[in-house]
Amino acid sequence: MNTLTKDQKDEYATSFAALALYDGGADITGEQINTLLEATGNTEVAAFYPIIFSNFLSADKITQMIVSPVSGGGGGGGGGGGDGGEDAEEVKEEEEEVEEAPAASDMFGGGDGDGGDY
């Protein structure tokens, strides 16, 4: 917890307060969240967090998040079967395109090797 910012700690405290109210069957309101935060010694939580969380979280929404959580990314699965012939051709074509790129001139518009204005 020492590595968290104040905002992150405020969010955690407010989230836990909302979950405690949900678990206890109480209404999830800004006033109830503030009461619980004060009772647990979290008196320095920014005043807007309980308001935002109470407006967003209702008992139905919390139930929905608990029953069907949304999971983030997690690496994608490998490609399907197949012989991979097309992939090899695509890589080969990309390499050829890179090799065909024209030579770049220097950033000041020179490039003729006379030393330019710099």
Alpha-helical segments (H) within the chain: 6-24, 30-39, 48-56, 59-67, 85-99
Which residue type does 86 have? E
Q: How many CB atoms are located within 10 Å of the residue 70 CB?
A: 5
Are residues 22 and 28 in contact, defined by beta-carbon separation less than 8 angstroms? yes
Report the share of the chain in percent with pLDDT over 90.
Answer: 31
Model confidence over 3-37: pLDDT tens digits?
A: 889 999 999 999 999 999 988 898 899 999 999 99
Q: Using alpha carbons only, what angle is made at residue 69 by residues 66 and 74, rounded to the nearest 5 degrees?
A: 150
Report the share of the chain in percent with pLDDT over 70.
Answer: 57
Model confidence over 30-59: pLDDT tens digits?
A: 999 999 999 999 889 999 999 998 888 888
Query: Which has more pLDDT, 112 or 59?
Result: 59
